[in-house]
Amino acid sequence: MSEGDSVGESVHGKPSVVYRFFSRLGQIYQSWLDKSTPYTAVRWIVTLGLSFIYMIRVYLLQGWYIVTYALGIYHLNLFIAFLSPKVDPSLMEDSDDGPSLPTRQNEEFRPFIRRLPEFKFWHSATKGILVAMACTFFEAFNVPVFWPILVMYFIMLFCITMKRQIKHMIKYRYIPFTHGKRKYKGKEDVGKTFAS
């Protein structure tokens, strides 16, 4: 390898201006993501606001229904991954290696670990809305289509997919929303001590 062949380096061995610019831009973006992590409700309110703005834009422009349909399918895919366990119990049924979800009341508590964590779900959903919004600025993505058929097909797909997911939850006895380990109360401590 000769000098300047590595990624982002100029001929003199220093990172190029373009590489430094995008590297710094990535650091700023990651910093904002890190700062937003504890504010779950605010993040989702902003995402719902962006979604509302997108829907108003599509309604006013009377087009880009294919983009909206693709966004809906993408969000449905993210939602299913959010509701699914990281380790699929149907695949773990025969083997005893690795963690599994408790199936009986007396088994040890194991928290529900999602295939797609909440933060990544939010981040991907928000990026999807922004990409769809950007697509509405290009006429090439405005494919003429009869939108009621897309709505009917999406509703049908949503119902079938959710029915399958709920059956999976019932079969393997897991709930994707856990609030921690149950706390059992013992007998009241009356404060009496035994004298020896």
Question: Residues 174, 85: contact at Cβ < 8 Å?
Answer: yes
Question: What are the pLDDT digits (tens) for 77-127?
Answer: 999 999 888 887 777 665 555 555 555 666 665 667 788 899 999 999 999
Please, what is the end-to-end C-alpha distance for the chain in angstroms?
83
Q: Mean pLDDT across the chain, nearest whole number?
A: 83
Question: What is the structure's pLDDT at 158?
Answer: 95
Q: Could you give the CA distance from residue 181 to residue 169 in angstroms, rounded to a whole number? A: 19
pTM, entire model: 0.73
| pLDDT confidence of residue 176 | 75
pLDDT value, residue 54: 97
Query: What is the reported pLDDT for 171?
Result: 85
CA gap 19, 94 in Å, rounded: 50
Question: DSSP secondary-structure letter at 60?
Answer: H
Residues 131 and 149: their CA atoms lie apart, in Å, by: 23
Per-residue pLDDT tens digits for 32-91:
999 999 999 999 999 999 999 999 999 999 999 999 999 999 999 999 999 888 887 777
Q: What is the pLDDT of residue 9?
A: 58
List phi, psi (to 5°) of 107: -75, 160
In the chain, where are the structural domains located?
A: 45-88+111-170
DSSP 100-130: ----STTSPP----BSS-HHHHHHHHHHHHH
Largest CA distance in the chain: 90
Query: How is residue 76 written in tokens?
Result: 């449905």
Residues written for the chain: 196
